[in-house]
Every structure is written in structure tokens, then in C-alpha cells.
């Protein structure tokens, strides 16, 4: 009987030892995009700075660790598996990622090469990553796990149309559009339409009817002649509204970065100054204080007055189109220099 009792006691002791309860705690360090990049692009855990620490308790026995990294490429997508790293068996202890491949030997890892390449094309880590680490026994059985998230919310980029300038008069034969260059972009696209009614907002005019330029993709160029993009011919004297958008790499339509909408006028050799000059002077008068020029403004807005010519007071000669453009640009920038507005 004594022998049987001894065997049962030893068996119970063995069970307690092998059922040791482990915990694993993944800690994310503070780091930059460039610190995280080697981990993603080349699965280089030791080559990256300290981007995470793994605390294991108790520090007893031999264990293995497996890590899996997932990527959420944009707000509308789910997490997708990006890569896996595995260690060989080692004495249980806490460690940093810089220990992996150095004091802690690594086994064979794996990755989704297409997703890694997509990350590489973006040039830096973007959006959100999820890292899960698993604590395993020597036979690969899971003992514990923990998960942390890495977010790279890049500051919003601003897309600005540099030319044509707001309210400018453009040669109908060709309008060169130029905008600021952004990073991490797949392509730019251009949208333009006629604004035939001054009561329409720029947005309403842009979205109405059949656009003159209907979201034409122009690649990565930041300058193009708008006339080459027309789906139908534009006409002399028209006011054109224009917007440029940029598609971030790997993004969807909801991620488009859009410029402010601007408007410009097409010259009309038969009536070169009417709409363009009247509208611009009207806009300048609206910006003035104390009702200066309010009578003229009311008549311009109602259509009772149309400016067809501007003359030099001392010579009586009409201003050239370039001189009118310079005058209007100056008045837009310096409206307070207008001392008086009279109508004969």
C-alpha cells in the first residue's frame, strides 16, 4: 500500500509542474515611422530600434514565442495578415525585439509578399498595424497571448491649385493648370465645369449637368493644359469652375484629397471684358467696408450695368486685357486703396 501511495504522490507533483501558468505582456515603445519600417519591410526585428518589449512570467522552463503582424490599409478595410516571426526554444525570460535574432535564435518566418511590397511602395508605415505575440511551450502548444496596436495617422496633406488664379482671365486656346505636389499619391484627377448662373455656388456648378472635364486621371503630373482634357468644347466668355483631387496610394474614393474649388474666365475676343470684368469688380465692391460703391454693386448684381471698357482718365485710352488683369489683381489684394467709387 505504501508503494502505491508514493507513486500517486509523485504523479500529482509532476502534473502540477507541467501545468505551470505563464503570462505574456506586450509593451509598445514610443517610436517613429522610420523606426518601425525595418520590421515591416524586411522582417528585421533586431535591425529595428526598440519598438516593443515582451514581459514573460515566470522566468522558468523553456518556451517559444510566435509573433503575427496584421495591417489595416485604410479606414474601410479589415486587418490582413502581413508577416509571422517565430523563435526557437529558449529559457523563459523577458526581452526586447532587438534580442530576437541575436541572443534569442529565430526560426523560419513567413510574410505576404504582395502586402509587404504595397507597404514599401507607400514609402513608410501607414494607417494601423496589429501585433499579436503568442507564448508557446517547447511542443508549440499555446500558453498565453497578448495584442497591441500601432497607429500612423499622418497629418492631412493639403492640395492647392497654384494656377489659374481665382477670378483670372485665361486664353481660351489653352489653360495651364498647376497644383502642389503631394507624397504617397497614386494619381491626380481633374474635374471642371461651366458656371452659367452667378447665384450657383462653386460646388453646385461643379456637380451640375455634364462636366467639361469629368474626373480625368492625369497620373502623377502636377501641371497640365486643361484644354487637352475636355470632353466637349468650352466657349468664349464662360466662367469655369475647377477642382483637382489626389488619390492616396492604396486608397478608395472616400480617401480622395480635394483642393478648394476655384473659378476663372475664358477670354471672348468679341466682348473681351463684359462678364469677367463685371464679376470681378462686383466681388471687389462686396469686400469693401461702409457701403462704398454699393449703388454700382447693386446694379452689377441685378444685371442693369455691364462693364464693357475701362479707360485711363488722363488719356481716355482703353486698358489692354493685361492691364485690366493687373488692375483687378491689385484691387483684390489691396481693396482699402479704393478711396471713392462714383457712377456718372
Q: How confident is the model at residue 139 (pLDDT cuts 50, 70, 90)?
A: very high
- Residue pLDDT, tens place only, 239-278: 899 999 999 887 788 888 999 999 998 887 666 555 555 5
Mean pLDDT calculated for residue range 37-46:
59
Is the pLDDT score of 115 beyond 80? yes
Element (H, E) at 244: strand 239-248
Q: How confident is the model at residue 108 (pLDDT cuts 50, 70, 90)?
A: confident
Look at 101 and 306; give whichever has higher pLDDT: 101
Residue whose C-alpha cell is 464693357: 308
In whole angstroms, what is the distance from residue 178 CA to residue 171 CA? 15
pTM of the model: 0.45
- Residue pLDDT, tens place only, 291-326: 544 555 455 455 555 555 566 667 777 656 566 666
pLDDT of residue 76: 74
In whole angstroms, what is the distance from residue 65 CA to residue 55 CA? 12
Is the pLDDT score of 12 beyond 50? no
Other beta carbons within 10 angstroms of residue 285's beta carbon come to 22
**Calculated CA dihedral for residues 42, 46, 52, 57, nearest 10 degrees:** 130
In whole angstroms, what is the distance from residue 208 CA to residue 193 CA? 8
pLDDT of residue 254: 80
Assigned CATH topology for domain 2-152: Immunoglobulin-like (2.60.40)
pLDDT of residue 5: 36
Q: Which CATH number fits domain 155-269: 2.60.40.10, 3.40.50.1370, 3.40.50.11540, 3.40.50.740?
A: 2.60.40.10
- Residue pLDDT, tens place only, 161-218: 999 988 888 888 899 999 998 888 899 999 999 998 878 899 999 999 899 999 999 9
Q: Quick check: 66 and 136 in contact, CB under 8 A?
A: yes
Mean pLDDT calculated for residue range 207-233:
95
pLDDT of residue 16: 37
Is the pLDDT score of 227 beyond 80? yes
Look at 338 and 264; give whichever has higher pLDDT: 264
* Residue limits of CATH 2.60.40.10 in the chain: 155-269
Look at 200 and 79; give whichever has higher pLDDT: 79
Helices marked H in 187-234 — which ranges?
Answer: 202-207
Amino acid at each position: 500500500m505504501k508503494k502505491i501511495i508514493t507513486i500517486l504522490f509523485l504523479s500529482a507533483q509532476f502534473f502540477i509542474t507541467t501545468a505551470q501558468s505563464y503570462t505574456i505582456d506586450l509593451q509598445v515603445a514610443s517610436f517613429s515611422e522610420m523606426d518601425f519600417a525595418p520590421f515591416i519591410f524586411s522582417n528585421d526585428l533586431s535591425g529595428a530600434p526598440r519598438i516593443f518589449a515582451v514581459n514573460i512570467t515566470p522566468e522558468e522552463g523553456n518556451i517559444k514565442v510566435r509573433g503575427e503582424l496584421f495591417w489595416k490599409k485604410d479606414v474601410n478595410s479589415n486587418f490582413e495578415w502581413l508577416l509571422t516571426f517565430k523563435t526557437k526554444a529558449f529559457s523563459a525570460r523577458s526581452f526586447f525585439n532587438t534580442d530576437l535574432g541575436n541572443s534569442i535564435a529565430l526560426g523560419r518566418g513567413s510574410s505576404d509578399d504582395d502586402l509587404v511590397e504595397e507597404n514599401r511602395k507607400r514609402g513608410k508605415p501607414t494607417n494601423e498595424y496589429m501585433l499579436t505575440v503568442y507564448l508557446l511551450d517547447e511542443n508549440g502548444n499555446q500558453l498565453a497571448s497578448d495584442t497591441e496596436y500601432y497607429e500612423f495617422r499622418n497629418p492631412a496633406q493639403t492640395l492647392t491649385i497654384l494656377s489659374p488664379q481665382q477670378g483670372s482671365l485665361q486664353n481660351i486656346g489653352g489653360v495651364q493648370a498647376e497644383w502642389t505636389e503631394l507624397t504617397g499619391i497614386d494619381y491626380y484627377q481633374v474635374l471642371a465645369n461651366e458656371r452659367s448662373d452667378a447665384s450657383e455656388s462653386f460646388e453646385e456648378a461643379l456637380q451640375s449637368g455634364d462636366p467639361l472635364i469629368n474626373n480625368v486621371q492625369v497620373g502623377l503630373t502636377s501641371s497640365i493644359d486643361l484644354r487637352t482634357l475636355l470632353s466637349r468644347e468650352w466657349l468664349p466668355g464662360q466662367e469655369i469652375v475647377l477642382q483637382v483631387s489626389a488619390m492616396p496610394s492604396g486608397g478608395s474614393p472616400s480617401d480622395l484629397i480635394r483642393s478648394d474649388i476655384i473659378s476663372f474666365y475664358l477670354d471672348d475676343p468679341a466682348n473681351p471684358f463684359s462678364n469677367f470684368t463685371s464679376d470681378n469688380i462686383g466681388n471687389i465692391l462686396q469686400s469693401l467696408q461702409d457701403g462704398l460703391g454699393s449703388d454700382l454693386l447693386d446694379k452689377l448684381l441685378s444685371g442693369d450695368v455691364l462693364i464693357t471698357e475701362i479707360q485711363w482718365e488722363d488719356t481716355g485710352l482703353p486698358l489692354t486685357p493685361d492691364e485690366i488683369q493687373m488692375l483687378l489683381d491689385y484691387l483684390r489684394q489691396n481693396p482699402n486703396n479704393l478711396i471713392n467709387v462714383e457712377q456718372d
